Amino acid sequence: MSSGVASRLGRRRALVGWAFMAPLVAVNALVVLGPSLAAVYFSLTDWSGLGAAHWVGLRNYRELAGDPDFGAALWHNILWTAFFLVVPMAMGLFGAFALTRIRRGRLLLRVVYFVPYIVASVVTSAIWKNLLSPQLGIGKVLHVNVLGNIHLALPAVEIVNNWAWWGFLVVVFLAAMRDVNPHLYEAAALDGAGTFGQFWHVTLPSIRPTFLFLGLMTIIWSFLSFDYVYVLTQGGPAGSTDLLSTLLYRDAFGELRAGYASAIGVVMALISAVVVIGYLAVRKRKDWTV
Amino acid sequence: MTMSRRKFLALSAAAAALPGVAGLAGCGAPDHSAGIGYWSAFASQQQRDYFQRARVDAFPGPGRVELTVKPTASIDQLTQTALAAGTGPDLVQTDGPAQVAAYQAAGYLHSLEDYAHTYQWDRVLAPWALAASRINGQLVSLPADYETMILLYNPATLHEHGWPVPRDGATFEAICTEAKARGMLPVAAGNADWRAASEWWVTMALNHHAGPEAVYQALRGRLPWTDPVFVDAISTLSGYYQAGWWGGSVEDYFTNSFPQMYTALAAGDAAVMITGSWASTEIEPYFGEAAGNTATWDWAPLFPLRAGVPDLVWDLGIGRTLSINAHTDKPDETAAYLNFLESDPRRQAEGVAEVGMQPAPLELTAADFPPGTGDRQVRLYTELSNAATIGYTTWTFFPQQTDTELSTNFDKVFTGLLSPADYLAGLDATFREELRRGAVPTAPAPNGIAS
């Protein structure tokens, strides 16, 4: 085949590829890129969400820096992220590893773990709101009002969200663990490794790409959490469960400060971007693949 | 059938583009349907059916009304989005003057000045309500309903404990102290169902402790919100919460729901309840035969919390407003329908009597109500119509950002996260900025006369 023909074929293939991609790129530009650029623009204005927007430069960002509500919400988000990086990840890992060690009932347990994940968050929240009620549920038995306590409300909402979330991690980790070469376990056993040793020295290193990817996504998703907080506490009591997302919602629709809310959104996006860039840099340096 | 790759790609691209094109075609097109478009939300199916029958189907014209029912929780955002897109209903409903100010600033609303003259709305609507509906001197909305803060009580409970209906702060505090000691809820209150409910009680503190004259001067920008008279009011209210009078305890206040509070009042577990007049409808299912008990309820006006405040102050609020969409192609028909909704006292009184709807602020007399209307309802609205001294509900007379901050941050005051002075300093800064922007609704003087 001459180089000219090969070049034409290459161009044709690229063209066909782009033709298939074009609708997706168009939709993406319309519903992702466009609104994203608009959010950056509006974050530099005093837009109320209605009518015209006026340019204010970096004023919204300067105000964010001194806003105690923003500082509190950011701190709550950091606590939220730390919780979800540790508790459900650990539960998911150990749950999945335990499932690899049993044969009977494995499918049933996978379903049981996974079901809370597919229940609508509003439904889950409503159920837990009653369960934690100081008049009706666990709160009455234990004489503690967790959703009314400014120190306990955030951990309580995290636990409710985790109840629905960790089963999903079990299923994903289990899928990754089933791809681990069984000979590695045999070799580890011959070397005297017990169950925990096998988990630590064989399972964890073998599923590292999945583990890291879910860690990355956990950080990103944590900064997008909204539904459980909104239904269970609406950011209360006294702002003790406010996350950046609930603060953004209140600023945009409650106070009609869409420009300021856009600035919060841009900061949230920047945090996620920093996490992704950091992850990609580490992955490249360590030559990890996902 | 065979299809070439080129044809397949062309068809795929066309198919992918179709929804987008269809969507774009709908953008920016006002809702020019055949009838007068009106979006509303209702508290119950009975209210919805009544409204359809008595206020939509009964409209004699010109034109006909197309009512679209939206969820109560999202009607404001749906309307806001539609107006921002240049569409939406012909008759625009908002949740109060603060939102009207934002819509007016955005150019979404049609002026009502000419129609006010044509239909002589100044002769039927209360002066304070028309004054509060003017934004920067321009009438762009009419109040669709109005409300006030009241004290609800179970007469049997007060009688059992030997408590009078409180008429002053000292009596009220004595009842709360005694009720708390007896393990009761002194005041049935909570904000689990509606976080912003805290502003109801801030409204009470401002108007019945600081006094309506001080609030009026502050709303005009003549008195800062950091004045000691407001610091005292907020400190007193915060003290009530910290004493466990509001909802039983600070923690329980955050998880108490309205049904729980109505039930507590009916069961004699709560001494009193301080809430808005809208509760006179919500409370009915918890009392009497419908609830399987023999409990009854009654209401009383709020009382001064300290000496020097007028004995009888009616905190007036506008729950909903109605405006004409600036993009409507039938402003005259919409104005005629607005007049139909607003101008007849008997129609307003019938709505109160039949399904417990809140009336528009017209002067209502006992004769306007149909036979068989409950005495409590007739008394409430006839006394309210004759209000000599008015107070200012925060959701009506405060600008949007100040109002949100007022309710959100008050929760931090009684939980000890923010001092009353710091709370009011923050509020004052936000208010000053909104006052500078002209976003503060017009407040009439405490005698109800526009000034």
Contact check, Cβ <8 Å, B252/A27: no
Q: What is the pLDDT of residue B33?
A: 52
Yes or no: say if B439 and B105 are a contact pair by the CB < 8 Å rule: yes
Distance between CA atoms of residues B400 and B388, nearest Å: 27
DSSP string, chain A: --HHHHHHHHHHHHHHHHHHHHHHHHHHIIIIIHHHHHHHHHTTB---SSS---B-TTHHHHHHHT-HHHHHHHHHHHHHHHHHHHHHHHHHHHHHHHHHT--TTHHHHHHHHHHHHHS-HHHHHHHHHHHT-TTTSHHHHHT--GGG-TTTHHHHHHHHHHHHHHHHHHHHHHHHHTTS-HHHHHHHHHTT--HHHHIIIIIHHHTHHHHHHHHHHHHHHHTT--HHHHHHTTT-STTTT--HHHHHHIIIIIS--HHHHHHHHHHHHHHHHHHHHHHHHHHHHHT---
Choose between A195 and A106: higher pLDDT: A195
Q: How far apart are CA B360 and CA B116, in angstroms?
A: 15
Nearest to A50 among B5, B108, B252 (CB): B108
Q: Could you tell me which chain A residue has the CA closest to the CA of B100?
A: A50
For residues A23 and B17, the answer to whether their CB atoms sit within 8 Å is yes
Is the model more confident about B343 or about A260?
A: A260
- Quick one: DSSP state of residue B145? E
Mean pLDDT of chain B: 89
Reported as a single tens digit per residue, the pLDDT across B306-327 is: 999 999 999 999 889 999 999 9
Q: Helix (H, G, I), strand (E, B), or coil: what is residue B222?
A: coil
In angstroms, the CA B306 to CA A212 distance is: 63
| Number of A–B residue contacts, CB under 8 Å | 97
Distance CA A167, CA A108 (A): 12
* CB of B182 closer than 8 Å to CB of B163: no
pTM of the model: 0.86
pLDDT per residue as tens digits for the range A151-182 = 999 999 999 999 999 999 999 999 999 999 99
Q: What are phi and psi of B120, to 5 degrees?
A: 55, 50
Distance from CA of A119 to the nearest CA of B (A): 22
User: What per-residue confidence (pLDDT) applies to B434?
Assistant: 92
Average pLDDT for residues B425-450, to the nearest whole number? 87
Task: Quote the Cα angle for B248-B254-B260, to 5°.
Answer: 65
Interstrand relation of B142-153 and B298-301 (parallel, antiparallel or unpaired): antiparallel
| Contact state of B408 with A19 under an 8 Å Cβ cutoff | no
Contact B195 A238 (CB under 8 A): no
Chain A contact set for B270 (CB, 8 A): none
pLDDT at B34 over 80: no
Classify residue A40 as exposed, middle or buried by CB count within 10 Å of its CB (0-12, 13-18, 19+).
middle
Contacts of B16 in chain A (CB under 8 A): 22-23, 26-27
Instruction: Provide the Cα torsion A195, A201, A206, A211; round to 10°.
Output: 90
Helix (H) or strand (E) holding B39: strand B36-40
For residues B166 and B272, the answer to whether their CB atoms sit within 8 Å is yes
What distance in Å separates the CA atoms of residue A226 and residue A77, rounded to the nearest whole number?
11
Query: In sequence order, what are the residues at sequence separation of 6 or more whose Cβ sits closer than 8 angstroms to the Cβ of residue A108?
Result: none
Q: Taking residues A98-126, report their average pLDDT.
A: 89
CB–CB contact B191 A236 (8 Å): yes
Q: Please choose, from the candidates B165, B154, B240, the residue with its C-alpha nearest in 3D space to the C-alpha of residue B198.
A: B240
Give the residue-averaged pLDDT of B411-421.
97
Q: Is the CB of A134 less than 8 angstroms away from the CB of B255?
A: yes
| Distance (Å) from the alpha carbon of B413 to chain A's nearest alpha carbon | 8
Q: Checking DSSP bridges between strand B138-139 and strand B36-40, what pairing results, if any?
A: unpaired
Q: Which residue of chain B is at minimal alpha-carbon distance from A234? A: B195
Contacts with A19 from chain B: Cβ below 8 Å: 9, 12-13
Local confidence band at A270 (pLDDT 50, 70, 90 cut-offs): very high
Closest CA to B347 of B69, B39, B60: B60
Cβ neighbourhood burial of A242 (10 Å; 0-12, 13-18, 19+): buried
Q: Which residues contact A271 (CB under 8 A, 6 or more apart)?
A: A223
Q: What is the pLDDT of residue A10?
A: 86
What chain B residue is nearest to A149 in terms of C-alpha separation?
A: B251
Q: How confident is the model at residue B28 (pLDDT cuts 50, 70, 90)?
A: very low
- For residue B401, give the chain A residue with the closest CA: A255
The residue-averaged pLDDT of A78-107 equals 93
Q: What SS3 class is residue B164?
A: coil
Closest residue in B to A52 (Cα) is B106
Most B-contacting residue of A21, A46, A48, A247 (CB-CB within 10 A), to test interface: A48
The answer to whether B206 and B230 are in contact (CB under 8 A) is: yes
At B20, is the pLDDT very low, low, confident or very high (cuts 50, 70, 90)? very low
Confidence bin at B26 (pLDDT 50/70/90)? very low
Give me the half-sphere count of Cα atoms (radius 13 Å) on the Cβ side of residue A57: 2
Nearest to A19 among B9, B17, B77 (CB): B9
Shortest distance between the Cα of A52 and any Cα of chain B, in A, equals: 7
A52: confidence class by pLDDT, cuts 50, 70, 90: confident
Query: What ipTM is given for this predicted complex?
Result: 0.85
* C-alpha to C-alpha distance for B51 and B40, rounded to whole angstroms: 10
Angstroms from A179 CA to nearest CA on chain B: 37
The pLDDT of residue B19 is 40
Sequence-ordered list of residues with C-beta below 8 angstroms from that of B46, at least 6 positions apart, any chain: B355
pLDDT of B179 higher than 90: yes
Judged by CB atoms closer than 8 Å, whether chains meet at A51 and B12 is answered as no
User: Do B252 and A134 lie within an 8 Å CB cutoff?
Assistant: yes
Chain B residues inside the 8 Å CB shell of A255: 400-401, 404-405
Of A30, A147, A235, the CB nearest to B20: A30
Cβ contact, residue pair B412, A239, below 8 Å: yes
Q: What is the pLDDT of residues B242-286, one digit of tens each?
A: 999 999 999 999 999 999 999 999 999 999 999 999 998 889 899
pLDDT at B130 > cutoff 90: no
Q: Which residues of B touch A59 (CB under 8 A)?
A: none
pLDDT higher than threshold 60 for residue B185: yes
Q: Cβ of A2: how many Cβ atoms within 10 Å? A: 7
3-state class of B56 per DSSP?
A: helix
DSSP 8-state symbol, B290:
G
Is residue B223 predicted with pLDDT exceeding 60? yes
The confidence band for B370, taking pLDDT boundaries of 50, 70 and 90, is very high
Closest CA to B235 of B416, B114, B93: B416
Identify which of A229, A242, A266, A237 has the alpha carbon closest to the alpha carbon of residue A77: A242
pLDDT value at residue A21: 92
Q: Are strands B142-153 and B314-324 parallel, antiparallel or unpaired?
A: antiparallel
Q: What residue in A sits closest to B82 (Cα-Cα)?
A: A50
**B203: pLDDT confidence band, cut at 50, 70 and 90?**
very high
> Which segments within B54-183 are labelled E, that is strand?
65-69, 91-94, 134-135, 138-139, 142-153
Name the strand (E) or helix (H) holding B276: strand B270-276
Interface test with B, best of A131, A256, A257, A260 (most B CBs within 10 A): A256
Which residues of A fall within a CB distance of 8 Å from B17? 23, 26
In sequence order, what are the residues at sequence separation of 6 or more whose Cβ sits closer than 8 angstroms to the Cβ of residue A281? none
| E strand residue ranges, B86-125 | 91-94
How far is CA A227 from each of CA A145, A217, A264, rounded to the nearest angstrom? 21, 17, 18
Two tokens, residue B246? 């509001």
Instruction: With a cut of 70, say whether residue B7 has pLDDT above it.
Output: no
For residue B281, the model assigns a pLDDT of 81
Q: Locate the chain B residue with the closest alpha carbon to A147.
A: B255
Distance CA A168, CA A151 (A): 28
Return the minimum-mean-pLDDT range out of A182-186, B10-14, B267-271: B10-14
Give the pLDDT confidence score for residue B21 in this predicted structure. 38
Chain B residues within 8 angstroms (CB to CB) of chain A:
5, 9, 12-13, 16-17, 20, 76-77, 80, 83-84, 99, 102-103, 105-108, 191, 195, 249-255, 260, 400-401, 404-405, 408, 411-412, 415, 417
Residues in B closer than 8 angstroms to A22, CB to CB, are 13, 16
Interface test with A, best of B250, B408, B437 (most A CBs within 10 A): B408
Kindly identify which residue of chain B lies nearest to residue A26, measuring between CA atoms: B17
Tell me if A254 and B404 make a contact (CB, 8 A cut-off). Answer: yes
The pLDDT, as a whole number, for residue A183 is: 94
What mean pLDDT value characterizes chain A?
Answer: 91
B64-97 per-position pLDDT tens digit: 999 999 998 789 889 988 998 889 999 999 988 8
Give the pLDDT score at B159. 97
How far apart CA A72 and CA A75 sit, in angstroms, is 5
- Name the pairing type of β-strands B134-135 and B138-139: antiparallel
Residues in chain A whose Cβ is within 8 Å of chain B = 16, 19-20, 22-23, 26-27, 30, 48-52, 133-135, 139, 145, 147-150, 233-239, 250, 253-257
Share of chain B above pLDDT 70, in %: 92
pLDDT band at A86 (very low <50, low <70, confident <90, very high): very high
CB B399 within 8 A of CB B440: yes
